Amino acid sequence: MITRDRIVQTFLDLVGIDSPSGEEDAIAGELEHRLRALGLQAVQDAAGNVLARLEGAGAPVLLSAHMDTVEPGRGIKPRWDGPDIIRSDGTTILGADNKAGCAVILEVLQSLIEDGGPHRTVEVAVSRGEEVGLVGAANMDYSRITARVAIVIDSGGPPSSIQGQAPYHYVYDIEVHGRSAHAGLEPEKGIPAVTIAAEIVAGLPQGRLDDETTGNVGIIRGGLVRNAVPDYCLVQGEFRSMVEEKAETLARSARRHIETVQARHPGARIEASIRMAYPGYRLEPGDPAADLLYPVLRSLGFEPNPHPVGGGTDGNVFRGHGIAAVVIGRGGYNQHTKDEYLVVPEMLDCARVVEAAVRTLPA
C-alpha cells in the first residue's frame, strides 16, 4: 500500500540531492540505483534519462517525471510548516517540481511489488533538462518505450488538476551578420547588425496576442564595444498558441518579415531558424489517457479538472511521438519560486491515483 512516511522520506532524500538543469548526474545515479533495488530493469539512455520497466499484464503504461530543478536549487533545506506542508527555508526553491513526481513513481512501484496482484506493465521515464526546453524528452531513446499511454506527474495542485490543453510552441534563433567599422572615424563603412536586428524585433510577435496566443523576444545579444559598429547580433525568442494554425501563421509571418528586412539590407546576411519545439494538444473525449485516468479519479472521489496551461511539459513531446499523455498534479504549489511548497496529503492522493490507474487492466 501507499505509505505516507516512506514517500515523504523518499521525497526528502531526493530533495537533498542538488540537480539543477545540466547537473543531474548524481540524482540520475540515485534514481537508477533505487529502481534496480526494486528489481526493475533500469538504464540511462544516451541523453542521460533514466528508463526502467516492471513487467505486468496487459498494455503497458508509462509513468514519467523529470529529475532536474530550477535555480536557486542548491543546498535545499526543507522544513515542516504544520503537519502536512513542506517548504524550503526561504533561500531556495523546494524542488517539489519535480522531486515529488519522482517520489510518487518510486512509491507506486514499491507498493505494486509489495502488495502483489495484477497490474499493467509499467515503463518509467525520468527525464533530464525538462526545465530548459524539454531537452531530455526530446532526445529520449523511444526504442525502449512501448507504452502508448503515459501519466506525466508534473503539474501543480491535487491529482484531479489536469493539464487539459497545452500550446504549440515555436522557437527561433536569428543571427544578423553585418560589418564592423570604427564608429567615430568611418561609421559609413560599417553595416550595423544591432540596428538591423532591431528592425527584425520590431516586427516579431510579442506579448499576449489573443486568449490563446503569446509571443516573446527573450534574448538580444550583440556588439563588443561602444565605439565600433557591431558586426553581429543574435535574437532568440518564441511564440505559442493553443491553435496549431495560429502558431503556423506566426511562423510564416515571421519568415516573411525577416525576408523583407534582408531585402532592405543587401550587404548584411541574416540567418534565421524558426521551428516547432513541441506540438500542442487538447484532451478530447475518447483520448486514451483521459479514458484511463478519469474513471480512476472518479472512483476515488475526485472530479477531473482539465484546464489549459500556457507552458509545455514532457507530455507534449510524448504526444509528438504517438504516446497519449496526461499531466496530473502532485501536490506542489508556487513552483519556480522560493515560496514553493508541497501539500503531503495531495502527494499521497497522487500516488494512490497513479497506482489505481496502473492496476486498471484493459477489458
Q: Enumerate the known binding-site residues for Zn(2+).
A: 66
| Count of CA atoms in the C-beta half-sphere (13 A) of 64 | 32
Sign of the alpha-carbon dihedral angle for 150, 155, 157, 162: negative
Q: Identify whether the C-beta of residue 228 lies closer than 8 Å to the C-beta of residue 180.
A: yes
**Dist CA 238 CA 168 (whole Å):** 11
**Dist CA 26 CA 73 (whole Å):** 14
Give the residue among 191, 267, 258 at the shortest CA–CA distance from 230.
191
**Dist CA 291 CA 313 (whole Å):** 20
Q: Which of 68, 107, 231, 314 is catalytic?
A: 68
Q: Which of 30, 97, 123, 130 is catalytic?
A: 130
Hunting for cell 570604427 — which residue is that? 182
β-pairing, 207-210 vs 213-222, is: antiparallel
68 is catalytic: yes
173 is catalytic: no
Q: Identify whether the C-beta of residue 73 lies closer than 8 Å to the C-beta of residue 135.
A: no
**Dist CA 133 CA 30 (whole Å):** 23
Give the residue numbers marked as catalytic: 68, 130
